[in-house]
Amino acid sequence: MSRDASIGPWVKRFLLDHLVSERNLSRNTQRSYRDTLALFLPFASARKKKPIDRLEVIDLSREAIRDFLDHLEQSRSCSVRTRNQRLAALHAMARFIAERSPEHIDWCGQVRSVPFKRFVRRELSYLDKAEMDALLAAPDLRTRMGARDHALLLFLYNSGARVTEATTLRVGDLDLRVNQIGSAQLRGKGNKTRRCPLWPATCNELLSLIRNRSPDDPVFLNRVGQPLSRHGVHWMVRKYIRAVAASRPALANRSISPHTIRHTTATHLLRSGVDINTIRAWLGHVSIDTTNIYAEVDLQRKAQVLAHSNALRTTPINNKHWRDDLSLMNFLRSL
């Protein structure tokens, strides 16, 4: 078996050289692609009854990929969205190999012919103003962890930051002034940076949190002084949602995550009259098409438009039959 035929060297080059050095993809994307291959290679090995280190490129066939995708859905109970995410990683690796090994172009075409699966997109979830205010009021400000949690929730709502953008935020990324508007530099997908304005209330909370801290320190720390993890942020949000649900039972049946707060920020900005392009820059979206989804889901704003639209107001309907309309009949005869 030639070196180019073995899948092992290609996997290493794809993960270490292509994703990191050439594409400079985010650490989360790198991990997602790595996890896909960590699942698929043992599956392909068992299917071909060959050790992983003896697998060839052509062993990762179109049929093997389809069986793997079915395995994800049926045996691992993965969602269609996760299935498509795994397939995207395999498509990317196939394209990488074909661009550097012409003899594998036909194989790449077969792999990339495996289609993504259609799915019904769930309605975007967000909190209304009263629900968001209740969530912000849930932490106990008398405790150190409660003060941190309140500052984090307020920051997420103010900035619309992704979880990773919040957990990687450093003290030096903040420009804060007491009782004044400040800003935070966020590192988004693809290591793109953007500046987000911060309300005076957010600045005050963060100033208390980072007092006497080094510019290189993470802003949000856990109980033992280590950087707060993405899992920790998800756990924190779920904890306070459970607390708020005692007085707002409707929240108990909803799936609320830190990303829901991001959706909430965008929706509330839209309702406040902020234009969609500003919201795009605020959230760090590359395309405005991504941001337009908030205009689609804002039913309250649609209702307001409906109430003020002259074109949609009820007007008397002329039920006169066309045969009885002499002007119409004369017009038709004149043609």
91 is catalytic: no
Catalytic residue among 104, 150, 280, 285: 285
23 is catalytic: no
Mode of pairing for the β-strands spanning 182-187 and 174-175: antiparallel
Separation of alpha carbons 235 and 123, rounded Å: 23
Residue pair 194/28 in contact by the 8 Å Cβ criterion: no
- Percent helix, percent strand, percent coil in the chain, to nearest 5: 65, 5, 30
Separation of alpha carbons 211 and 213, rounded Å: 6
Say which residue the tokens 């949609």 belong to: 312
Q: Which run of H or E residues covers position 182?
A: strand 182-187
Give how far Cα 313 sits from Cα of 251, 299, 301, 319, Å: 35, 18, 17, 18
Angle CA 306–311–317, to nearest 5: 115
142 is catalytic: no
Residue pair 67/81 in contact by the 8 Å Cβ criterion: no
C-alpha torsion sign, points 221, 239, 85, 47: positive
Catalytic residue among 104, 162, 170, 280: 162
126 is catalytic: no
Catalytic residue among 150, 262, 263, 280: 262
Angle CA 148–165–261, to nearest 5: 70
Say which residue the tokens 């070196």 belong to: 3
Catalytic residue among 23, 189, 248, 271: 189
The secondary structure of residue 115, as a DSSP letter, is P
Catalytic residue among 34, 213, 259, 301: 259
Catalytic residue among 33, 157, 240, 294: 294
**What residues are annotated to the active site?**
162, 189, 259, 262, 285, 294
